[in-house]
Structure 1
Amino acid sequence: MSPKVSQEHKEQRRAKLIEAAAEVFIENGYETATMKHVMDKAGVSRGGLYQYFENKEDLFREVIQGNQEKIIDGSLEKLIKQQSSYWDVLLVIMLGDKKESNDKMDPLSPSKLEYFVTRRNDEKRREYARLRYFDAFEMTTKIIERGETAGEFIPRFPIRLIAKSIISYIDGLALGHAILDSRTLELKEQTTLLLNYLKWALGVEEE
């Protein structure tokens, strides 16, 4: 039993370190944040942090990997069962459980932009960015394809283009929000515009 408890403790400690790191990156951005900031936030020693993560980049990847949940067949099926339509599944993916337009953006977006843009010529980071992009693309495409098969969606454009337009629009809003405030950006209004476009592009019938 002891090894099991010990492993459970390690997993809990690791999760707490990732949570503390997320707060640090939100507060300081990627470039300014340091491992010392994370140690102070989590209340751990240098050894207590480096036991789990090699460096800041390793830690940041763990933060954003957890932030971008991968939906595989099993978990997608679970999500579909929880929602009344494939449209609602898309809304949950884009907007969260409330499925409503709002003036909130992922607070980690500025740090993600710093990480991927400041060293965009770093091949390892470019490859990681590509993997994340295609994870999102595959997930979105799969949902739309399921909706089309079910007769809920009647796409006006190739599904791959609709999926890519969703990602591009959201990424564009994230970039704007990293520089401007929600009111200036009219984030809620632009999100509503995106949803109206998607309803038209997907041929979603109004209730």
Structure 2
Amino acid sequence: MAIVVEHDKRKHEILEKSLEVFIEEGYEDVTFQKIADRCGITRTTLYIYFKNKREIFLWSIKQLTSGIEQQLNEIALDTTKSSEESLRLMLKTVVDACQENKSLFSVLLTYLLALHKSGGEPGVRVRRRIVRLQHMLSTIIIRGIKAGEFKKVNVKNANELFYGLIQSAIFRLSVLDEKTIDDIHDTLNLAVNGLLADKK
């Protein structure tokens, strides 16, 4: 059991250091050797954990997004807050995470473009990663509708609206290199305001 724990711990450390290399150098310029060097191990040792650079990159992204998903899940499950508070907090958490990791999103964009050029399907990969986020957003919206906090809207359309705004935020932060997220938060809050049921 101790060997498995040690293996997982080392794998986690490799992923964290690899992410730094991808952010600093960009996906295309990173090599297996550069990752091994950063981790202070040989390429042979690195092959024990991962078969190639692409696998390391995808696991690094998964490790990062899993942490964010855990935060969002805690928000979604917290019934002590109103649906409005939960939705605003969830959207703020997502945008804050996007700002903190905007360099990574630039690398991810390069990777997705390369995948598209090689005949891959970047849309499929992205949809796999966001299905949980969309489920959590839907859960909060449905809860808000049932509680009378939100208007009776089409949940799928509301979800698409918020997801589109999050995509826009990622683009603005990682591609356009916008420095402030105040406008992004304001836009998302305006969209939440549009969901609120009329007070009688």
TM band (smaller chain): 0.7 to 0.9
Deviations 1:102-128 (A, max 9, x none): 993523111111121232253354422
Structure 2: which 5+ runs fail to align?
none
Amino acid at match of 2:116: R
Matched ranges for 1:94-105 at <5 A: 94-96=91-93, 104-105=99-100
Partner of 1:193: 186
Shift of 1:12: 0.4
Tell me the SS of whatever aligns to 1:30.
coil
Tell me the SS of whatever aligns to 1:123.
coil
Partner of 2:116: 120
Q: What percent of counterpart residues are identical?
A: 23
Confirm or deny: 8 A CA contact 2:75 2:86 kept in the other structure.
no
Shift of 1:23: 1.1
Partner of 1:8: 5
Partner of 2:78: 81
Shift of 1:65: 1.4
Amino acid at match of 1:106: N
Q: 2:143 aligned to 140, 143, 146, which one?
A: 146
- Higher normalized helix content (fraction of residues): 2
Amino acid at match of 2:162: I
Shift of 1:161: 1.5
Confirm or deny: 8 A CA contact 2:18 2:57 kept in the other structure.
yes
Q: 1:45 aligned to 39, 42, 45, which one?
A: 42
Shift of 1:76: 3.6
**Using the alignment, how far apart are the partners of 1:10 and 1:150 within structure 2?**
47
Change (3 A) 1:197 1:66: same
Partner of 2:178: 182
Confirm or deny: 8 A CA contact 1:86 1:143 kept in the other structure.
yes
Tell me the SS of whatever aligns to 1:190.
helix
Deviates further, 126-135 or 197-206 = 197-206
Change (3 A) 1:21 1:103: closer
Change (3 A) 1:5 1:101: closer
Change (3 A) 1:55 1:106: same
Structure 1: which 5+ runs fail to align?
none
Deviates further, 13-22 or 30-39 = 30-39
Amino acid at match of 2:184: T
Deviates further, 28-37 or 106-115 = 28-37
**Using the alignment, how far apart are the partners of 1:195 and 1:172 within structure 2?**
11
